[in-house]
């Protein structure tokens, strides 16, 4: 089996988590940034252990200087601060796989017919609460499922009025 070369963004996420978990240190971005690291965008880092989600944290709008810095911050958060899971420990490192999603700017949509769970991620808002779900996730096949998951993540009732936004991602593995 030929080993597919990992994206520089995935390599950066992996190196970040390894250094943080084994030495407690936050790495600096590479001196020479790969082209996909230079822009500003929201970024999600997903970590799986033997195919099961182990952490997924991100930003839907950029908060750092560039994508490289977003990856570093979100990789650490994904490994240590996802409230759904206990923090990852260094003994798990050999069993982890990473993916990095770089988001387009969310755009408002008028109704659910403008959504597609394979192509678009969804952000829903009601007051100050917000829920987000990435696109093209296993087991999420309908817009209704996307919105329901977002509502649960944000602690919203199904009867609450919401604002809908959609975004696309470039997924790196």
Q: What is the pLDDT of residues 99-155, one digit of tens each?
A: 999 999 999 999 999 999 999 999 999 999 999 999 999 999 999 999 999 999 999
DSSP H helices, 24-168, are 67-80, 143-154
Q: What is the pLDDT of residues 44-71, one digit of tens each?
A: 999 999 999 999 999 999 999 999 999 9
Answer yes or no: are the C-beta atoms of 121 and 132 closer than 8 Å.
yes
For residues 84-92, give the mean pLDDT: 97
Q: What is the pLDDT of residue 22?
A: 98
Kindly list the structural domains of the chain, giving each domain's residue range(s) and its CATH number in brackets, ordered by start. 8-103 (3.30.700.20), 107-172 (3.30.1490.150)
Question: Number of C-alpha atoms within 13 angstroms, CB side, residue 12?
Answer: 27
Q: Which two tokens stand for residue 107?
A: 């755009």
């Amino acid at each position: 089996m030929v080993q597919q070369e990992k994206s520089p963004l995935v390599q950066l996420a992996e190196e970040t988590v390894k250094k943080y978990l084994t030495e407690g240190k936050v790495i600096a971005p590479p001196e020479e940034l790969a082209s996909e690291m230079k822009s500003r965008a929201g970024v999600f880092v997903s970590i799986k252990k033997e195919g099961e989600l182990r952490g997924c944290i991100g930003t839907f709008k950029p908060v750092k200087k560039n994508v490289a810095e977003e990856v570093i911050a979100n990789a650490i958060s994904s490994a240590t601060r996802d409230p759904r899971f206990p923090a990852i420990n260094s003994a798990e490192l050999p069993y982890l796989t990473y993916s990095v999603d770089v988001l387009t700017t969310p755009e408002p949509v008028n109704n659910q017919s403008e959504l597609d769970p394979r192509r678009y991620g969804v952000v829903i808002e009601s007051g100050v609460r917000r829920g987000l779900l990435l696109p093209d996730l296993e087991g999420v096949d309908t817009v209704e499922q996307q919105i329901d998951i977002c509502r649960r993540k944000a602690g919203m009732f199904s009867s609450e009025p919401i604002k809908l936004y959609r975004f696309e991602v470039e997924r790196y593995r």
